[in-house]
Amino acid sequence: MPVNKPVTQSSRRIAGSRLLARWLLGAEWRSHPARAIVAIATIALGVALGYAVQLINSAAFNEFSAAAKSLSGEADLQVRGAQPHFDESWYPRLATEAGVALASPVLDLDVTVPGQSAALKVLGIDVFRASRITPELIGVPSAQRPLDTLSDDAIFLSPAAQQWLHAAPGEHVALRSGTSTVQFRVAGGIVRTRPGQRIAVMDIAAAQWRFGLEGKLSRVDLQLERGVDRDRFKRELQERLGSQLVVAETRDDESRTDRLSRAYRINMNVLALVALFTGAFLVFSTQALAVVRRRAQFAMLRVLGFTRGQLLRQILMEGALLGVIGSVLGLALGYALSSVALRFFGSDLGGGYFPGVQPHVGFEPVASAVFLALGVGVSVLGSLVPALEAARARPAAALKAGSEEGALARLATPWPALACLAVAGILALLPPLFDVPILGYLAVALLLIGGIALMPRCTAIVFTALSRRRTKRRTRATTTLALARLANAPGQASIAMGGVLSSFALIVAMAIMVASFRVSVDEWLTHLLSADLYVRVAPNGDTGGLSPDEQAALAATPGVKNAAFTRTSHLTLDPARPAVALLARDIDAADPGALMQMTGPVLPPSTLNDGETPIWVSEAMVDLYQYRLGQRLRLSIGASGGTFVVAGIWRDYVRQTGAIQLRLADYRRLTGDTGATDVAVTIKRGASVESVIASLRKLPFGTAMEFAQPGDIRARTLTIFDRSFAVTYLLEAVAIVIGLFGVAATFSAQTLARAREFGMLRHVGVTRRQVLVILAAEGGMLTALGIAVGFILGWAISLVLVFVVNPQSFHWSMSMHIPWSVLSTVALVMLISSCATAVVAGRKAVSIDAVRAVKEDW
């Protein structure tokens, strides 16, 4: 027979406590469902945005890394040149190194495709060697032509490349070599590639011949013998090879990809979490006002035996439940948003870091748990201060009417806020951690928290002073009553304005940062684009270029006064970092500022010793490689390298991984490379740009050149800038909407909670219209103060963003610019919205019977 266990008194007490907790929660949500729905919606939206950005970036990064890894196959190590190509005489030496089981030479090219906006990656391989190291990259010829893998006109395309170029097997594709167009026959597909990966493979000897790189290699893939210590072998081989070659691993490719996109990915996640932060404040506002309104209820529960711990758990449980529901909904919404974004907008989110991949969203347990914990955590934290206040309140005092402001008295203590602001100032001065401005973001968060925490004290000081000043003058009764209310209840007023303050401060900070960046880029372009016409042979890729004879023909074209040629290349300084751009131009060492926007003093040519070559480095080189003005160093430029001196530091908004400029004559002397990739053309007086372009098109190689005027380049660059910041604008707009929702919910809650106050005013003869005027005045004055303080706080945050976060993230500096018209418009909209919200919420409160409202006090 079953035995019925006796129900103990403790079990009854626990069951009763749970029943009471559910009853209290249900009663609160039934009475005020709108506030709970708004709080849940804001948490859900904040979690959804952050989770969606995380899923998109993670999927794109993982797919891009997998695609890069597939190019390495089973190789243990890769030997690359410090420059894009090195002499193939290194190959037999590497193949015969002790401990090397197999070596496979590779020529890796980004080939310009006429009529396309992107380059095609072409791999020249030794099919016999590559079949053992990178078997997935072998071309699959037709059964009728099995030797096409060795043919000099055959090329094999991945499925994504065939679709992109609209070229099926048997058809031809045109690729750019120098200024010539070379036709290749599509001989088939590739064994296996990643979805969306656009690559082509061909015989390495044919690739060297067709693209004018006889005797050159890009890398040698090494497979080590069993039992060889890879790390030790790598270290010893690097010592033997010197600085001309770089020994890398597959994980170095992943590290390069990670470093290239890390700052962008983290910035996107932080911007998405701004919405979650605003939602956390809304939870705090909702819970704080609910605790104030239910102060007498909680006091009665305490009188009836409810302990402080039970009350504390009750309020925290209510906040946690808001967070759980909002976070679960946010995870589902974020997954849906990420799927839609990847399907219709691609994986870049405006950053352009993951081209040529087709990632698919997958469920990520760790990320899901993190964002679930974040949503619940911010909800609990938002409820913590109101919960502690409710638990500390004395029941006898809390049962009395009019004690609501006393419950918020602790908020007026300025010391925690000042401590937050002081710590934020210290963190803003510290260097980044792991090349990421983590401390800068913490400084921004502390500035926001400190600014919001100072609102009660600011409100009390400002409105007390205004109230005293109005008392000495004859003013309207509605204005006097509004000022008296704000001066004597700063705690509740501050909660109402916290939403305005936080949202407007973020608007100001982001608007100043984006405007500063945009104006700085515009000024940089104006300084940089000093020629009348710009000519480029390889708008993408690295196989296009002008020979010396073609350069001479271009410079002798009628109407051309001067043609300044540029040779663009790359230099690998660290295998774990992306390559540094190497720009060779006609630079006047005595006045480098004529071509570059210098950020400080420059070394005059007289300070250089014999045999030293001046170089000018971008700001990123200072942050990433610790280059300093006047520093002397060795660089592997050319066969023998040389001693180089940092003669100046310039601003570059294109290459966040670093760039080095040197004189074209020095580059040609060191490398023997006489080609050119870009030309800046100055037109003779009296000649038109259109006539010069027409003459250049008549040259034998005229069809290989693309022309752009400074205005076109500037407009196109700013368009790309705006597109890159499209997600930033979207996230900022979402944060604004959430902030306005918070203002509306807070005003509504406060107005309804003041029904007894309005009833008393009605008793003494104040009309409904006058009560609404009082509410509008309160809303307008509170919002005006919130906007004023929010502007100061946002300006302080923008200082951190402009002078700390951006330089540490992208390694370039900018000047500050404030978009007054945009901020004025937003401030006016928020002011009108707050006043309208106060009036709309007040109409319901003043409609309650005045006598019944006052009786609630008796």
Strand partners, 536: 678, 706
- Separation between Cα atoms, residue 73 and residue 64, nearest integer Å: 15
Residues in the chain: 858
In this structure, the strands spanning 199-203 and 120-125 are parallel
Q: What is the pLDDT of residue 182?
A: 92
What is the pLDDT confidence band of residue 857, given thresholds at 50, 70 and 90?
A: very low
In this predicted structure, the answer to whether residue 101 has a pLDDT above a threshold of 80 is: yes
Contact 277, 448 (CB under 8 A): yes
Mapped onto helix, strand or coil, the DSSP state of residue 598 is strand
Does residue 680 carry a pLDDT above 60?
Answer: yes
The percentage of residues in the chain with a pLDDT greater than 70, rounded to a whole number, is 78
Residue 199 has pLDDT above 80, yes or no: yes
Residues 387, 390, 396, CA angle at the centre, nearest 5°? 170
Between CA 273 and CA 506 the distance in angstroms is 12
Q: What is residue 723's predicted lDDT score, i.e. its pLDDT? A: 73
H, E, C per residue of 540-551 = CCCCECECHHHH
331 within 8 A of 368, measured Cβ to Cβ: yes
How far is the C-alpha of 836 from the C-alpha of 825, rounded, in Å? 17
Cα–Cα distance for residue pair 170/164, rounded to 1 Å? 16
Res 286 pLDDT > 90: no
Average pLDDT estimate for 398-414: 56
Measured CA to CA, the distance from residue 282 to residue 498 in angstroms comes to: 9
pLDDT digits (tens, 9 = 90+) for 337-360: 888 877 766 655 555 556 666 677
Q: Is 405 left (phi over 0), alpha (psi -120 to 50) or beta?
A: alpha
Q: How confident is the model at residue 213 (pLDDT cuts 50, 70, 90)?
A: very high
Q: What residues have CB less than 8 Å from 344, skipping those under 6 apart?
A: none
Mean pLDDT on 570-587: 90
* Residue among 339, 349, 466, 396 at smallest CA distance from 778: 466
Coil/strand/helix, residue 109: strand
Integer Cα distance of 150 and 187 in angstroms: 11
Residue listed under structure tokens 């907008």: 345
Higher pLDDT, 344 or 643: 643
pLDDT average, residue stretch 735-758: 65
Q: With 70 as the cut, is the pLDDT of residue 21 above it?
A: no
Average pLDDT of the chain, as a whole number: 82
What pLDDT is recorded for position 395?
67
**How many CA within 13 A on the CB side of residue 639?**
8
Report yes or no: 567 and 617 within 8 Å, Cβ to Cβ. Answer: no
Question: Is the CB of residue 772 less than 8 Å from the CB of residue 842?
Answer: yes
pLDDT of 187 over the 80 cut = yes
pLDDT computed for residue 154 by the predictor: 94
Residue 638 φ then ψ, to 5°: 90, 180
pLDDT at 405 over 60: no
**What is the rounded average pLDDT of the residues 631-642?**
86
Which residue shows structure tokens 């004690």? Answer: 403
Residue 219: both structure tokens together: 């890398």
User: Could you tell me which residues come within 8 angstroms of residue 628 by beta carbon, excluding any fewer than 6 positions away?
Assistant: 622, 646
Where in the chain are the domains? 77-248, 477-527+712-858, 533-708
Determine the Cα–Cα distance for residues 711 and 717; give it in Å rounded to an integer: 10
Distance CA 775, CA 777 (A): 5
Please report, for residues 372, 373, 382, 439, 454, the alpha-carbon distance to residue 378 in angstroms, rounded to integers and kept in the order given. Answer: 10, 8, 6, 20, 20
Over residues 659-688, the mean pLDDT reads 93
Task: Say if strands 172-177 and 154-157 run parallel, antiparallel, or are unpaired.
Answer: unpaired
- Looking at the chain, the whole-number percentage of residues with pLDDT higher than 90 is 33
Most confidently predicted of 2-11, 284-293, 589-598: 589-598
Task: Give the residue with greater pLDDT, 848 vs 478.
Answer: 478
Which has more confidence, 731 or 186?
186
Q: Is the pLDDT of residue 15 over 50?
A: yes
Question: Tokens at residue 638, please?
Answer: 């050319």
Please work out, in degrees rounded to the nearest 5, the angle formed at the alpha carbon of residue 371 by the alpha carbons of 803 and 312.
105
Buried b (16+ CB within 10 A) or exposed e, 91-130: beebbebebbebbbbbbbbbbbbeeeeebbbbbbbbbebb
Q: Where are the alpha helices (DSSP H) in 81-126?
A: 90-95
Contacts of 654 (CB under 8 A, 6+ apart): none
The helix (run of H) or strand (run of E) holding residue 78 is: strand 77-81
Chain centroid offset of residue 631 CA: 33
**Res 186 pLDDT > 70:** yes
What are the phi and psi torsion angles at 612 (to 5°)?
-95, 140
Task: Quote the DSSP letter at residue 147.
Answer: G
**pLDDT at residue 171 greater than cutoff 80:** yes
Task: Decide which of 848 and 633 is more confident.
Answer: 633
Asked if residue 79 lies in contact with residue 217, where contact means CB atoms within 8 angstroms, the answer is: no
If pLDDT is split at 50, 70 and 90, which confidence band does 1 have? Answer: very low
Handedness of CA 268, 274, 277, 282 (dihedral sign): negative
Whether residue 358 contacts residue 64, with contact meaning beta carbons closer than 8 Å, is answered with no
pLDDT in tens, 230-276: 989 999 999 998 888 999 887 776 676 666 667 666 776 776 666 66
Tokens 């995380």 sit on residue: 54
**For position 541, what pLDDT does the model report?**
76
